[in-house]
């Protein structure tokens, strides 16, 4: 309240109460505004995080269902019949049969070609191209490849043959069959990059030159380079 005559204005209790009410009203209005802003921001963040979670879950499920599985190789048969013959070296040959399984549900495996090589004590003793032309293997299908190595495709001399016979005399003869190819995975219109694939099949034959039961239908480890 103010007085005329140049007197100093005096603030009354009513003025204090009016000022306090105005200050309190502004304070509550400011807090309400902050609260609404905070709640809206939290709601937007929650919706955004929920959308991200749903998209991530969908992507994870699609990755699980569409991620490529490596082809599965099983050695069905492997034999050197000449091991059981007195003069077997003259008729030496190696025959083998391998199955290749595409276990993917929706993914096709493309092979450029397939090569096979036989190793004895980590030294290659024979090899041949098993499939010369490129082909596509459909999902959930099995392909069989086989070969007979002899003559030019089987590089076994008399000294190596004697090593076979020495191993045979004490039990069995161990070999390694390696299947190699360049492959890629196809999902609808998407194609993966090419991979150099190796399947290593450890196999043993008995004194009759036939594959041992423990090695038959054995799954071969597969790796890429």
* 134 and 112 Cβ atoms separated by less than 8 Å: yes
pLDDT digits (tens, 9 = 90+) for 144-186: 999 999 999 999 999 999 999 999 999 999 999 999 999 999 9
Can you tell me the mean pLDDT for 46-54?
Answer: 82
Whether 27 has a pLDDT exceeding 60, the answer reads: no
> Which range, 19-28, 85-94, 174-183, has the best average confidence (pLDDT)?
174-183
Q: Which of 224, 69, 73, 223 is nearest to 146 (CA)?
A: 73
CA dihedral 38, 43, 46, 49 (to 10 degrees): -100
Six token digits for residue 139: 């999902």
pTM equals 0.72
DSSP assignment of 183-205: EEEEETTEEPPPEEEEEEEEEEE
Q: Residue 136 pLDDT more than 90?
A: yes
* CA 103/CA 100 separation, integer angstroms: 9
Ramachandran angles phi, psi of 187, nearest 5°: -125, 105
Give SS3 for 209. coil
∠ CA 72-119-136, nearest 5°, is 30
Of the pLDDT bands very low, low, confident and very high (cuts 50, 70, 90), residue 50 is confident
C-alpha–C-alpha distance, residues 217 and 222, integer Å: 15
What is the three-class DSSP state of 175? strand
List the domain boundaries for the chain.
1-67, 72-224
Q: Which of 2-16, 119-133, 168-182 has the lowest mean pLDDT?
A: 2-16
pLDDT for 93 beyond 50: yes
Q: Do the strands 123-131 and 135-137 form a parallel or antiparallel pair, or are they unpaired? A: unpaired
> Angle CA(168)–CA(180)–CA(103) in degrees, nearest 5?
105
Q: Which CATH class is domain 72-224?
A: mainly beta
Of 20 and 132, more confident: 132
Structure confidence at residue 8 (pLDDT): 53
Task: Output the CA–CA distances (angstroms, integers) from residue 183 to 136, 158, 164, 194, in the order listed.
Answer: 10, 37, 34, 6
Do 126 and 149 meet the contact criterion of CB atoms below 8 Å apart?
A: yes
How far apart CA 63 and CA 58 sit, in angstroms, is 9
């Amino acid at each position: 309240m103010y007085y005329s005559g140049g007197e100093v204005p005096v603030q009354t209790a009513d003025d204090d109460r009016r000022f306090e009410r105005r200050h309190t009203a502004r304070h509550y209005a400011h807090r309400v505004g902050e609260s609404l802003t905070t709640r809206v921001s939290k709601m937007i963040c929650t919706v955004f995080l929920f959308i991200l979670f749903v998209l991530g879950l969908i992507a994870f499920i699609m990755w699980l269902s569409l991620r490529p599985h490596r082809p599965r190789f099983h050695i069905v048969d492997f034999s050197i019949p000449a091991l059981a013959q007195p003069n077997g070296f003259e008729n030496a040959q190696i025959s083998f049969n391998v199955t290749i399984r595409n276990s993917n549900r929706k993914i096709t495996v493309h092979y450029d070609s397939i090569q096979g090589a036989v190793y004895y004590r980590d030294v290659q003793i024979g090899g041949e191209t098993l499939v010369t032309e490129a082909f596509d293997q459909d999902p959930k299908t099995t392909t069989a490849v086989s070969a007979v190595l002899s003559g030019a495709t089987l590089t076994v001399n008399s000294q190596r043959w004697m090593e076979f016979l020495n191993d045979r005399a004490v039990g069995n003869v161990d070999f390694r069959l390696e299947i190699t190819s360049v492959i890629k995975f196809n999902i609808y219109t998407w194609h993966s990059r090419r991979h150099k694939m190796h399947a290593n099949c450890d196999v043993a034959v008995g004194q009759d030159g036939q594959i041992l039961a423990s090695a038959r239908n054995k799954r071969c480890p597969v790796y890429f380079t």
